[in-house]
Structure 1
Amino acid sequence: MAAEQGWTFTVKGREGLVLQGQENAATYTATVHRTTGDPWALHSTGTIRGRNGAKPEEIYVVDGTAYVNEGGGAWEHGPLSDPEFADKVEDPLAALDGFRGYGDGITLAEPDGPEGRVELRVRTTTARLTDVRDEGVVQKALREFTPTLEQLRAAGVTAPESRIIMAGAEESFVLDASTYRVTAHTFKCTFLIPPEGRQIRYDQEVTERTAGMYEGTVVLPDGMG
């Protein structure tokens, strides 16, 4: 996909936490414009919806720095190498680069016919977190889960990693069979934490789809950067 000027992606995501039978969930939708030059840049506009209503989110990535605005407040920025900012950026092309690092764990579904598609997939089965935490897709899931886990720790949840269950983690790409361009990317994971007398369930699923080419440029607004 690097031969083209850029791409537009649509994003849909959901994150949920079930505690004592009560679910707290949030959904996310966004449109992402991602250039493919050197250096590349990204601009995302989206909406986060949860039990407290909806709030806008806007993200720029320029020259390796992410700029994030949630709820129309002040802009925050930091290096894309910082997980706090990297985890907010939905970028299928960067995800594909990371996906290649899974190596032999990747399974391939052959294209079906001349207009078929190629599906690449990595998944892990249910296991204790301590038994699978070195797997690449589990490490990615754990990065997504860590902010919630830290909040649970602060609230008094003391279950060690040896009791946390990785109920499932899966990442997949759908590529056009003739051009190998990304048409869809999905990541999902589920964790179970069995503290005293109850079970906590965390799950997340994000799907990104290619909506078409992007002919524009990505430039920071005046006064930023």
Structure 2
Amino acid sequence: MPLYKTITPNSQTTVKIWKITESYKDLIEAVNLKPESLERVIGMKSELHQRGFLSVRHLLAAFGYEDSDLFYDANGKPHLKDGKHISITHSFQFSAVIVSDCSVGIDIEKQREKIRIIAHKFVDYEFEYLNESEADYVNKLTAIWCVKESLYKLFATPGLSFKDHCLVIPFGVDSDETVAWIDYKENKCRFQIRFLEFEGFTCAYVVA
């Protein structure tokens, strides 16, 4: 499938989302991979991960980049050779890339009941306004995870904890934005987060 959705939060930032319906063969034949990327994708045990990895390269092409334009730092944060900021995510049949003149982070997650089991690992303050009996509980938990993951990707600092250092202000699932904070060591930063839902998935992104 071609590009699923394009979002332009501001004149310096674009989000592109891909729905992965192509086969591994179709995806890999249509992109040029540098040797280390080819080795990495061939070594992946899951075809789902292979297709996610390759769909991100198709998204790069949609932005006008090639695989060779992308590199990672010691903390695993992606960068573009032209100096633009980038963040990458994929989950099951969706992937997304955000490119901006500013620091960014993005995450996509499938809405699944199992998130209830791990909620205590990434939620602290947010339990004050969450209600486990409400029908939208799983969707809210998924949104909170996506928000914190996008902040983590933007901040890219070892030791940052979802539970202890990231706070998400109350929000309604019918809204498309919220406020979140990072409170870590000497850093106390406020961020406006935007999110959306589609086909049982949640996507959140942040532009600093």
CA radius of gyration, larger in: 1
Q: Normalised by the shorter chain, which TM-score bucket?
A: 0.3 to 0.5
Structure ranking higher on relative contact order (CA contacts 8 Å, 6+ apart): 1
* Higher share in helix: 2
Q: Give the structure-1-normalised TM-score.
A: 0.35
Choose between structure 1 and 2: higher strand proportion.
Answer: 1
TM-score by length of 2: 0.37
